[in-house]
Structure 1
């Protein structure tokens, strides 16, 4: 019987997407690894009110361990429990004890234990350590067995290698067809354009340009804004603010509007090759996606046929104004076919195994992409 790998994963949160943009990515990768026979224990801190805003039940495809963020005793017990795992992952942006974890997981390294740093915000991490030669993480980079990132392409790979990384491999965002898929439209989300994203310092200016300015330039249009932190933001009269949107409503929010908008954070747009989870979630739902322009989009979706690309708010407004329902459906359907064929988490799980040097039994290899075409 194939026992797979035993993986200890220290991340922000698996069970809550509240102020946690990596949740969908973690869930997709880990669920796909579980389907391949691997056993994942996910360690997350009780912090930032995430446990009070859980949006999925306790998963049966991973063991989720919540540790106290008050003092380090509970975390030390988790680290000791992780000892002897085949793979130990420290993800970026846990939000609690990050510097401690980055150093302590390396104590678990051994002949049978790979220790991985999985960077879910590589542009921000790299800018931080490049600007501060005394950053505590900088000398640790070369000690990790490898660095995985959820985007960034060759610019991120080269930057990490220049800092001494043994190996750096992007594992891009993808689609989990079991969680993001077409559903019936609902009147409460009817609009011409919807954007979903939390208010973050390196995203706000781009939201002002690509979404709020587009709404100003198309005053007869109806716009919806979802995500945490925007409550006190000045908005045009044709923008309705939804607040935090739980993941249970993401499909209907993707499927109801005529189009949905993706806006990259400033650092990710600058590096390129960093598709947000929202790109694949929207495509999986068959949505017509409009995205801000960034290098590498054509690796994932074909501009003009599977996605619409805008360089500023004026172009967003014009695309929405000229978009009829039939063209929107055609673009959404084409995007869905593309991501199902090439960009699911089943595809990413096979890539992770290859990077880790794991040879799956033939039966598992044969069924890895079952139902994905």
Structure 2
């Protein structure tokens, strides 16, 4: 890591609640029920206590956190007073970040809620729209409609959010290319600063996995999904959204600073149940069970364990390489040499040349990066960097 990066750091806070679990989701979260309010209050209090315990020592070393990201779950499943309390505690403990992102479900926010978020210091909103097609929203189990997504976006603008990201998905059951084009057109009509587009992956243990096992999940064919991918990766840049990471597109200067930190090996603290962090070269994970997390914080016990006690220099080089390759710029070869004291070609020269020959990697201006074709098969290339 270079010296400029050493003073940058971020905070990720996990909110493990949703109004309803979506059919494709395997993230650690639980649906809000009638008896959840008391637990949410306990959770918010525990999270604030963890922030006040863990953040100040890092701030003393590195200065104010550059980025804060509240994800989930659905952070906005919390009552506004609880979520703004967490934001205010973060600001007290970490200073005022350049970028403070809150993930939101359009079905959980209104003008009043968004105004409170903005006043509490959030300056970037990530709206999980997924589709502007009401039929597809029902298929995947979302709680909002296309009209509600548009209303949430406009309410966020009115509340003062000048940096809004929209999440979209492709490869959904019964989705066609025309369906996707219509959703993208509606998204672009709102003129967001950022768009994330994810292909559906059927994860084990989800309702979609059960439906697929029973032959009841009408997924697009591989060719149809690839056609959607190809259209997206051409259409969004043509409309002014630069592809700066495999699944992320942004207008110039509106890239997610927090997420770029993940891919550039910038340290970040994870707080909350199931949160992950990366501090002093060590990957850390928090207790994933919400009730156990709350009890541990209440009794002053640690909720954190190293995830990679067997981590080696080789592991660190592998991780550096495949994370950096997710970005448009790719691996900074000079920074790799500074970080590990060895030229990248000494370690990965044969792999790099092999994939350059196949048209999947390129060299330019001191960087090794995926080509457009390489981004399509990124996992194959990443695997080649693992020893």
- TM-score, scaled relative to structure 1: 0.38
More helix by share: 2
